[in-house]
């Protein structure tokens, strides 16, 4: 019962902070260039929005991004001739093994 109450209180605090406008974009990063690249945006310090794009003018076969935590893949997307997006939510616990990591990669040249 105590665990449910704790989760409820934490959820209420997060929703309340978001409603008051306390949270916002915490960090953002883009890699690559207009024809082939990836980006990651952290919103409200709990949500990560990722994107990868690989358009016809790109010399690469594909571009991908991946979110992982503690060695486990949370989300992986690959763009071949378009843009792909996806989101994951952060683990609110503290410690290195709870950090969400963003990686991106490009395939071989066409």
Distances (CA, A) of 71 to 21, 43, 51, 68, 74: 33, 23, 21, 6, 9
Supply 51's token pair.
């994107």
Q: Which pLDDT value is given to residue 55?
A: 97
pLDDT at position 16, please?
59
| CB-count exposure of residue 79 (10 Å: 0-12, 13-18, 19+) | buried
19: its two tokens = 């409603």
Q: Which range among 9-13, 27-31, 34-38, 86-90 shows the weakest confidence by mean pLDDT?
A: 9-13
Q: What is the pLDDT of residue 91?
A: 87
pLDDT bucket at 39, cuts 50 / 70 / 90 = very high
**32: CB partners within 8 A, 6+ apart:** 38, 63, 104, 106
Q: Which residues of 32-58 are buried (b: 16+ CB within 10 A; e: fewer)?
A: beeebbbbbbbbebbbbebbbbbeeeb
Instruction: Quote the CA–CA distance of 43 and 71 in Å, as a whole number.
Output: 23
Give residue limits of the domains in the chain: 23-106
Residue range 83-93: mean pLDDT, rounded: 94
- CA dist 87 and 51 (Å) reads 9
Q: Per the confidence metrics, is the pTM higher than 0.85?
A: no
Q: End-to-end distance of the chain based on CA atoms, in angstroms?
A: 57
**pLDDT at 62 (0 to 100):** 98
């Amino acid at each position: 019962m105590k665990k449910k109450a704790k989760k409820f209180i934490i959820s209420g605090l997060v929703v309340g902070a978001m409603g008051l406008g306390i949270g916002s974009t915490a960090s953002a990063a883009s890699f690559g260039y207009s024809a082939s690249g990836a980006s990651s945006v952290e919103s409200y310090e709990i949500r990560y929005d990722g994107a990868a794009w690989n358009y016809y003018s790109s010399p690469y076969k594909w571009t991908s991004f991946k979110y992982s935590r503690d060695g486990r893949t949370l989300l992986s997307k690959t763009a071949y001739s378009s843009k792909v997006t996806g989101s994951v939510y952060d683990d609110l616990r503290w410690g290195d093994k709870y950090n969400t990591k963003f990686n991106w990669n490009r395939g071989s040249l066409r």
